[in-house]
Amino acid sequence: MHKQIVIKVDEDLEEIMPRYLEIRQKELIELEEAVQAENFEQIRMLAHKLKGTGSAYGFDELTRLGTLIEDKATDKDISNVPEFTSEIRFFLSNLEIEYVEMD
């Protein structure tokens, strides 16, 4: 069993978080398919969404991985992209959210 990745998130996001994570799971499947097909434009687009939304929801790791994947896709370089995609799957699969009051 993997250790849970505990992320503290603003309690104001609690109501919308399930939908956000549902969309990320759906996009992860699309990303994995695009990586298999080496569809760089699709990879770039999905990674850009991840990069853009991750930090806003408290997930700096998703922003980091999205940035790495987007840069690789822009250069049409598939190296490391499957590994980065696996890291996203691991992160989402082991995520435990702790809602806290933030200013």
- For 24-66, the pLDDT digits (tens) are 999 999 999 999 999 999 999 999 999 999 999 999 999 999 9
Backbone φ, ψ for residue 100 (5° rounding): -135, 160
Position 83 scores a pLDDT of 98
Position 103 scores a pLDDT of 77
User: Which residues, other chains included, contact 96 with Cβ-Cβ below 8 Å and sequence gap of 6+?
Assistant: 4, 5, 6, 7
Q: Looking at the whole model, is its pTM more than 0.85?
A: yes
With beta carbons less than 8 A apart as the criterion, state whether 98 and 58 touch. no
Residue type, 3: K
> What residue spans define the domains of the chain?
21-97
Strands of the chain (E only): list them.
5-10, 95-100
Looking up tokens 């799957």 gives 89
> Angle 10-13-15 (CA atoms, 0-180°, nearest 5)?
140
